[in-house]
Amino acid sequence: MTLPPFKALALQEGGKVWREVYDSAIAEGAPTRWIVTDPSIRGDFGGIVVLPQGFRPYDIGRDYVLGVWSDELGIEFVRMYDLIEASSGG
């Protein structure tokens, strides 16, 4: 079976594009990975964001992501996470 390259798309404030990685090798309940690109700079790679399993982003700002997280019983909770850029280690 052929799988799509991305499971979901989202837009961040400022125009960055988030693509949720569709990977059948990721275990159930594992965090989700999103690849961020900036189309204003020829689609340059902007990083990878890891979000908890069951979290659906609805609003992505410059320094936060707001969405709904569902627990194992399907109960939904509004959550907001800070977006912090990783240092380059130098």
In this prediction the pTM is 0.79
Q: Cβ(34)–Cβ(5) under 8 Å? A: no
Decide if 88 is inside a domain.
no
Number of domains the chain is built from: 1
Decide if 66 is inside a domain.
yes
Q: Which two tokens stand for residue 57?
A: 């982003």
What end-to-end distance do the CA atoms of the chain give, in Å? 43
- Residue 52 structural domain: 6-22+31-82
Decide if 90 is inside a domain.
no
Decide if 89 is inside a domain.
no
Q: What pLDDT, in 10s, does the model give residues 37-82? A: 988 877 688 889 999 989 999 999 999 999 999 998 999 999 999 9
Which residues on neighbouring strands pair with residue 20, listed in sequence order?
8, 34
Q: According to the model, what pLDDT value does residue 59 have?
A: 97
Say which residue, 2 or 60, is predicted with more confidence. 60
